[in-house]
Structure 1
């Protein structure tokens, strides 16, 4: 018997997020859930967990099914990590089975010191793993995971992948991390407003199968519409003949042909077109400088002054898409900050070309904070006028209500698209991007990739996203020990970093 069955499930928020969804989940299956930002992934997880009720349809859970839900949002909780995790056992079990919290934390790589410290002292990635430990400590039958790799470096992603594959749990995973989905899922559901599709395949082969089905749907629709058009032409000819000859039989036949054409047109369903979460477009202002950023022999230090690594001399030239890789804490963001300082003229060993125009996106998207709303961000920073600001924001996927909402009320994906719009309007010729795919859906990631390649953008990018790196990087800088080195092939770096967790 399936652990979970969805029958004709629908949910709407003004527009339908999904409708007529049928799905069954067997024990041991690991289902990847794929959709654009704001198109129902988190909502479906909440419906499955019982936190919300569907607009229509039925959810049948196996008797006694125990469900745990790892949500995207991390609570602001000052309590010790171990106490927070043990709470996942329930009040009674926590008193005499608290050791399970220690085991769950150890399995996910927590040290004793980190387990005893407050949740708020951990990085975003470790906080997410702590919440995962809390979700699994009670040994659920079904685990729902919402963007579990957000803020994790490759070492922690590798550890999470190995944990998922060894835990033997039944999972539903909403994620935009294509490489992670390929590594851990057995099934894929593409969630759509109509005709959602599921496949007993990981993400990449499932996407290929989906493309084939969509293409077949397109051909079928065109054939049916051609048949309907042909029937209407025949009906028109018969009608003229019937009128001229006064034949009631031909007029009856005309009506029958018209009805058949109408039935074909009514039943024909066009191929699916993704209702994207908004366009991402970038600009690339011109410059005559060959090297936009030059590095002498440079030492990168931790905030307290401790040397982390050395490198140089080095250059970032026009058209270079340099991706900086390394584990969390190695000093990637410190180098980003040094480059920012150089552009402001504050660094003696790093020089920026006089014609450099910066486009910067921070990991926390802090560059868009301060204006209150999305509309205020665009209208206040750029001389585009009210109507143009609204149009630009609509193109980025923000509805009129979202344009006026406080920025903290927007989802991570919506804020990420707003940040990309700000980048475009700055007209930069050098992009400095720190984890730009953290909150972008797969459609947004692919669009960003295409824009960077199409515009021949010059970039320094910090990223842990394997698919994004493979598609974008023209040069790879890797922090290895106390040196930054340039490598040709990312795959050995991926393998080494994934194995560290």
Structure 2
């Protein structure tokens, strides 16, 4: 039995986000919702939840179906509430009086430590805010859950808790999950919807297998399109020859045949459709200026400390050589970002026990993209970072997905995906030979993640990376440094660390 049916659903603003979407959601189904940034995923979830309306089509919910929506951001009226009160406020007033225990159960099911229960949401990390919104949706006992980027801001341990919760506590609740986390989609979803402008595609498969099927389908559609147009061209060439003969011979029969051939060609051309490609939020391109130094970064045996002098972990002697893409692994709070900040600091000044080759040209991006804060607008960022000229600057920004109406706007109004693409563009313009990247896939859609991976691989870049994105780490890492038990050591693979984090307790 279907709890939700979408029929010919569409959303059109100045241009269509998507049209002719048909989808059903039944018991036991968990649908992964995949699309580029800004192409309608969040809008679709809000429509299904009844918070906004579609431009066309119908939504049919089974009688009595209650839908719970977990948004990306905390609503303004909740930010000053404690985590516990924010969850509790999702209940009806009479339930709050007699059934406050429901909030306790929801928070315990999601393994939220009690130390966080009474803290205001605006004092908690983005990860705990995400968990609070999930608990808030769950406490009202929904029949269907809609999750909008549920793994944003979560570390691997919390993603593991979430995956376990979905497969156990919430296993019987149908879900639609909008996410750019490929490993998460594979782990929790048994169907995949690729949302597209004209024709969306649904597969009864998890993400990776569905993506392979979609690629095969697109390739077959493109081949059919090319074959159709080749056939139409052949008919038109034949018609042209017959027309010439018919005119020269005065044959009405041949001229009539010419007309018929052209009509057949026109009919083929009218019905032929090229394979629709997903809408891209903008291109990501990098550069690597190369390096002749044997080691771009050398780390001597030492202790990595925080400003008050406490030791986070001890370093053995290590080197980062040209072509190495080193991923730093470790649980939250072990000092990964601290290590990156020390290496970044050594690029500009002497840092004890860290030596950076004089030929190193850095390309640095932190997880908050704070390198963008000093610029007034995307346009000023590009022109201050390079001498490409205004015309070329505008073309580069447009290519990165920042069209003319955004180029002079304040950077603070850009979406996370737009800020990430701008940051990648600025890295490209700096022509680095040493990338230092802290959570570079944050806010990037799957298209952007894959583009970043390709660029790092194609240019054989040298990089020091921190990331919670398992697929990204597996695809780009060549070396892995693990912080564990107050020491850092090199390990052959990230898989043991991933397994421990995903299965570990909070």
CA gap 1:303/1:178 in 2 versus in 1, 3 angstroms:
farther
Describe the shift of the 1:372–1:69 C-alpha distance in structure 2 as closer, same or farther (beyond 3 A). farther
Kindly state the Cα deviation for residue 13 of structure 1 after the two structures are TM-superposed.
3.1
SS at 1:404 equivalent: coil
Please tell me whether residue 202 in structure 1 is matched to residue 206 in structure 2: yes
Deviation at 1:239, TM superposition (A): 2.4
Greater CA deviation, 335-344 or 424-433? Answer: 335-344
Aligned to 1:117: 119
Which residue of structure 2 aligns with residue 85 of structure 1?
87
Q: Is the counterpart of residue 331 in structure 1 residue 335 in structure 2? A: yes
1:361 partnered with 2:362: no
Query: 1:298-317 to 2 correspondence within 5 Å?
Result: 298-302=302-306, 304-317=308-321
Q: Against the structure 1 CA distance between its residues 67 and 372, is the aligned structure 2 distance closer, same or farther, given a 3 Å change threshold?
A: farther
Q: What corresponds to 1:258 in structure 2?
A: 262
TM-fit CA distance, 1:303 = 5.2
Match of 1:430?
A: 434
1:21 aligned residue: 21
Query: Does residue 210 of structure 2 align to residue 219 of structure 1?
Result: no
Separation of aligned partners in 2, 1:427 and 1:227: 47
Deviation at 1:371, TM superposition (A): 2.0
- 1:228 corresponds to: 232
C-alpha distance in 2 between matches for 1:457 and 1:44: 38
C-alpha distance after superposition, 1:424-480 (max 9, x if no partner): 111111111000011111111111111111111111000111111111000001111
Q: Once structures 1 and 2 are overlaid, which stretch shifts more, 16-25 or 6-15?
A: 6-15
Deviation at 1:256, TM superposition (A): 2.0
- Equivalent in the alignment of 2:141: 139
Aligned-partner SS, 2:222: helix
Moved over 4 A (4+): none
Q: What residue number does 1:158 align with?
A: 160
- The Cα offsets for residues 63-109 of structure 1, whole Å up to 9 and x where unpaired, read as 22211111122346132110011112233322221111111111112
- What SS does the aligned partner of 2:39 have? coil
Contiguous gaps of at least 5 residues in structure 2: none
Q: Which deviations, in whole Å up to 9, do the C-alpha atoms of 1:253-291 show, x marking residues without a partner?
A: 322221111010010011223332111111112332211
Q: Quote how far apart the aligned CAs of 1:140 are.
A: 0.9
SS at match of 1:5: strand
Q: Which of 440, 454, 460 in structure 1 is aligned with 2:458?
A: 454
Partner residue in 2 for 1:10:
10
Hey, what does 1:69 align to over in structure 2?
Answer: 69
The Cα offsets for residues 364-396 of structure 1, whole Å up to 9 and x where unpaired, read as: 111112323222222233333221211110010
Aligned residues: 501
Q: Which residue does 1:52 correspond to in 2? A: 52
2:44 match: secondary structure: helix
In 2, Cα distance between the equivalents of 1:11 and 1:438?
27
TM-score normalized with structure 2 length: 0.95
Distance 1:73 1:121 in 2: 14
Alpha-carbon distance between aligned partners in 1 of 2:292 and 2:302, rounded to the nearest angstrom: 25
1:463 aligns with 2:461: no
Structure 1 equivalent of residue 132 of structure 2: 130
Deviations along 1:318-365, whole A, 9 cap, x unmatched?
111000111111111111111122222242121211221111111111
Structure 1 position 111, deviation (Å): 1.2
2:495 is aligned with 1:491: yes
Picking from 427, 439, 444, the partner of 1:440 is 444
Q: Unaligned 5+ residue runs, structure 1? A: none
Which is worse superposed, 376-385 or 156-165? 376-385
234 and 383 in structure 1: CA distance in 2 versus 1, 3 angstrom threshold: closer
1-structure distance, mates of 2:496, 2:271: 52
Cα separation, partners in 2 of 1:114 and 1:454, compared to 1, 3 Å: same
Contact 2:71 2:148 in 1 (8 A): yes
Q: Partner of 1:130: helix, strand, or coil?
A: helix
Q: Secondary structure of 1:28's match?
A: coil
* Distance in 2, Cα, partners of 1:378 & 1:286: 22
How far did residue 248 of structure 1 move? 3.2
Q: Secondary structure at the match of 1:59?
A: strand
Work out the CA distance in 2 between the residues paired with 1:106 and 1:33. 28
From 231, 248, 252, give the equivalent of 2:252. 248
- For residue 116 of structure 1, give the secondary structure of its aligned residue in structure 2: coil
Deviations for 1:300-323, whole angstroms, at most 9, x for unmatched residues? Answer: 234544322111211111111000
1:282 equivalent in alignment to 2:286:
yes
Which range is displaced more, 90-99 or 456-465? 90-99
C-alpha displacement of 1:14 = 2.5
